[in-house]
A = this chain, B = another copy of it.
Amino acid sequence: MASLKDLAKLVGVSPTTVSFALNGRSREMRISEELTERILEAAKQLGYQPNNIAVALRTGQTKIIGLIVEDIANHFFSNLAKTIEDEASRFGYRVVYCSTENMAGKGDELINMLQRQQVDGYLITPDASMEERMTALLKRDIPVVQIDRYLPGLDCPYVMVDNHQGVVSGVEFLLKKKYTRISFVTVDLDMIQMKERKLGFVETMTAHGLFKNKKQLLELPYSSVREDAVERIQAYLEKEKPQAVLFATNYVGILGLRAIKNLQLNVPDDLAVVCFDDNEVFDLCTPAITAIRQPIESMARGAVKILMGEMGVAKKSARKQVKIQTSIVRRDSA
Contacts and interface: CB of A to CB of B under 8 A. Distances in A.
Given A72-B82, A94-B96, A284-B254, A49 B112 contact: yes
Contacts of A51: 57, 116, 118
Contacts of A82: 71-73, 99
Contacts of A49: 112, 115-116
A24 interface: no
Given A73-B82, A78-B73, A284-B281, A53 B50 contact: no
Contacts of A168: none
25 contacts: A1-B140, A49-B112, A49-B116, A51-B57, A51-B116, A52-B116, A53-B53, A53-B117, A53-B118, A72-B78, A73-B78, A73-B79, A73-B82, A75-B75, A85-B98, A85-B99, A94-B96, A94-B113, A96-B96, A97-B97, A254-B280, A258-B283, A261-B284, A261-B286, A281-B281
Q: How many copies does the complex hold?
A: 2
A254 B283 CA distance: 10
A29 interface: no
A207 interface: no
A249 to B, nearest CB: 15
Contacts of A50: 116
Nearest to A81: B72
Given A254-B280, A258-B283, A286-B286, 20 more contacts: A1-B115, A51-B57, A51-B116, A52-B116, A53-B56, A53-B57, A53-B62, A53-B117, A71-B82, A72-B72, A73-B78, A73-B82, A78-B78, A82-B99, A96-B96, A97-B97, A258-B284, A281-B281, A281-B284, A285-B285
Interface string A275-307: 000001101111000000000000000000000
Contact of A285 (B113, B117, B118, B286): B286
Contacts of A284: 254, 257-258, 261, 281, 285
B52 A118 contact: yes
A54 B50 CA distance: 16
Give the most central of A94, A97, A117: most B CB within 10 Å.
A117
Interface in A77-118: 78-79, 81-82, 85, 94, 96-99, 112-113, 115-118
Contacts of A281: 280-281, 284
A270 to B, nearest CB: 14
